[in-house]
């Protein structure tokens, strides 16, 4: 006989009540709603793409300004304290 095994049979005919517990919160909301995903349209793709490009260009300009302009460098250094 291996460790953890028993020769006697366990009889458990009581129904498990924990499995039929009412779900609450987010689980209940997700159970009731059927979420569907729709692909974005061409206009929405262009808007998000434009926003990403503008923010990337702005970031590059600010990094260049930070590296080349001592006053801007000091301003950013002092604001970060």
When comparing pLDDT for 37 and 46, which is higher? 46
| 31 against 62, higher pLDDT | 62
H-assigned helices in the chain? 26-32, 42-68, 70-79
CA distances from 14 to 7, 11, 18, 22 (A): 21, 9, 12, 19
- Per-residue pLDDT for 41 more than 70? yes
Tens of pLDDT, residue by residue over 44-74, are: 999 999 999 999 999 999 999 999 999 999 9
Q: How many CB atoms lie within 10 A of CB 74?
A: 10
């Amino acid at each position: 006989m291996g460790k953890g095994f028993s020769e006697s049979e366990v009889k458990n005919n009581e129904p498990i009540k924990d499995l039929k517990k009412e779900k609450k919160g987010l689980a209940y909301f997700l159970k009731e709603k059927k979420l569907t995903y729709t692909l974005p349209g061409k206009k929405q793709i262009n808007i998000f793409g434009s926003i990403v490009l503008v923010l990337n260009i702005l970031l590059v300009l600010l990094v260049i300004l930070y590296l080349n302009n001592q006053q801007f460098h000091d301003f950013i250094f002092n604001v970060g304290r």
